[in-house]
Amino acid sequence: MPTPLSDALFERAKRLIPGGVNSPVRAFRGVGGTPFFTVRARGCRLYTVDDRELIDYVCTWGPALFGHNHPRIRAAIAAALEKGTSFGTPHPGEVPMAETLVELVPSLEMVRLCNSGTEATMSCVRLARGFTGRDKIIKFAGCYHGHADALLVKAGSGALTHGYPDSAGVPTATAADTIVLPFNDLAAVDAAFDKFSGQIAGIILEPYPANVGLILPDPGYLAALRERCTHAGTLLIFDEVMTGFRVAPGGVQEIAQVKPDLTALGKIIGGGLPVGAFGGRRDVMEKLAPLGPVYQAGTLSGNPLAVAAGLAALTLIKELKPYPALEAAGKKLAAALRDAARHKGVPLEVPQVGSMFALFFTDKPVRDYAGALKGDAAKFRQVFHAALDGGVYLPPSPYETCFISTVHDSAALDKTIEVLTGAIHAL
């Protein structure tokens, strides 16, 4: 569909911004074509410079649990703005934010705010190393933990979409202490602990890997990782930047009843503004400066606007208890897509949990990074563009997760099902 204003803006952007975008996956390289430019958003819809209205399943990559521009969140930001944008000192909002996070997330005994998910995961890794006195970290292929050097090895998200899961610019010496294993493979974990006995500071993972599509852990897998870490004196780190408050008030750890030693958070806790947080066991967190020797800092950490927006979002979670309705919406969409693929005779896996789902055009359940790569990316690209032409915006990559919000009402879901099933039937 023609998008002349977006096309013109993109041409201008490419002259001054690498690839024309400020985050790689937005460039549409994974699906082809030119990205559109959004001028406003409300509820479950985006509105483009070309005067198009799109039902949005990216939800700003997760944070828009209650849709875009929610009046309660907007009012909280406006009230905070009246007092100032940044103080460089502690401010009163930081305390109830910490109290709310500790109340809702099972593993948190102490928490520190920062500015992004990348900062949160990077700080968790540094803290694990400082606490244990060890250097090596285990991560899993396809799990994306932001763009810190030690973690940008066999990563998901845009790194995978653009074909560079190992980033240039990451020193070999830095990557040498990162052990990359296949997800859902306990034998590989056991082998790593045997080979590097007494050297592994932490295991970091997305408990539901959601930057490589959506992969669910095998039954008992997370609990088994907990047992092995406890036995080895290794810290277990859950990156719940994506899943925190998305699948349950306490994230995956609440659902799985598995407590990590450290947890990284972001997205929803900022209500759509830039934010991050990390926390966990008190004895570990007390190693952070100024109490301990592990340094971490940030000029805008605990920014009053982000804290106000995040507190509004978390308050809405406690008041509205949205998860049963989100689960029902997710199941409805996933079932319709599976049915359409079955009738067409197209192999399609649609992993779904709560408000998160993904499309893998493959005939086997995807359990790991290698399985995700076997999906038919060309079919995804065809469905993506057919959906976009029909007014439905999916993530512009076959290796990302779709999100539903509380304001994706029956009309939006029914239109989405009509458009996506039509796209699948046209394959």
Q: Quick one: the chain helix, strand, coil %, rounded to 5?
A: 45, 15, 40
Residues 45 and 97 in one domain: no
For residue 138, give the 3-state DSSP assignment. strand
Q: What is the pLDDT of residues 184-218, one digit of tens each?
A: 999 999 999 999 999 999 999 999 999 999 999 99
Q: Residue 407 falls within a domain, yes or no?
A: no
Calculate mean pLDDT across residues 87-101. 97
Q: Residue 84 falls within a domain, yes or no?
A: yes
Q: Residue 347 falls within a domain, yes or no?
A: yes
**Residue whose tokens read 């993904």:** 358
Residues 200 and 298 in one domain: yes
Residues 110 and 170 in one domain: yes
CA distance 119 to 125: 10
Task: Please say whether the beta carbons of 57 and 350 come within 8 A.
Answer: no
CA distance 284 to 286: 5
Q: What is the pLDDT of residues 311-325, one digit of tens each?
A: 999 999 999 999 999
Residues 94 and 171 in one domain: yes
Write the CB contacts of 166 (distance below 8 Å, at least 6 apart in sequence): 152, 153, 154, 155, 175
Start-to-end CA distance of the chain, whole Å, equals 19
Q: Residue 389 falls within a domain, yes or no?
A: no
Residues 37 and 97 in one domain: no
Calculate mean pLDDT across residues 292-306. 96
Range of the domain at 39: 1-56
Output 172 or 53, whichever has higher pLDDT.
53
Residues 174 and 293 in one domain: yes
pTM of the model: 0.95
Q: What is the pLDDT of residues 324-350, one digit of tens each?
A: 999 999 999 999 999 999 999 999 999
Residues 146 and 175 in one domain: yes
Calculate mean pLDDT across residues 13-38. 96
Instruction: Identify the pLDDT of residue 165.
Output: 52
CA distance 354 to 210: 13
- Which residues form the catalytic set? 144, 239, 267
CA distance 337 to 396: 18
Which amino acid makes up residue 145? H
Alpha helix (H) residue ranges in 356-409: 369-373, 377-389
Residues 33 and 101 in one domain: no
Mean pLDDT of the chain: 94
CA distance 258 to 105: 11
Nearest of 196, 280, 205 to residue 232 by alpha carbon: 196
Specify the number of domains making up the chain.
3
Residues 90 and 207 in one domain: yes
Q: What is the pLDDT of residues 118-170, one digit of tens each?
A: 999 999 999 999 999 999 999 999 898 988 767 766 555 554 444 445 667 77
Residues 76 and 3 in one domain: no
Instruction: Identify the pLDDT of residue 157.
Output: 53
Q: Residue 144 falls within a domain, yes or no?
A: yes
Task: Please say whether the beta carbons of 138 and 200 come within 8 A.
Answer: yes
Q: Residue 61 falls within a domain, yes or no?
A: no
Residue % of the chain over a pLDDT of 90: 91
| C-beta atoms surrounding 411 within 10 Å | 10
Residues 141 and 164 in one domain: yes
**Residue whose tokens read 């400066």:** 289
Nearest of 60, 50, 45 to residue 10 by alpha carbon: 50
CA distance 288 to 126: 10
Q: Residue 397 falls within a domain, yes or no?
A: no
Q: Residue 241 falls within a domain, yes or no?
A: yes
Q: What is the pLDDT of residues 364-401, one digit of tens each?
A: 999 999 999 999 999 999 999 999 999 999 999 999 99
- For residue 36, what is the domain's CATH number? 3.90.1150.10
Output 104 or 171, whichever has higher pLDDT.
104
Nearest of 391, 314, 322, 352 to residue 54 by alpha carbon: 391
Residues 52 and 124 in one domain: no
Calculate mean pLDDT across residues 4-28. 96
- For residue 204, what is the domain's CATH number? 3.40.640.10
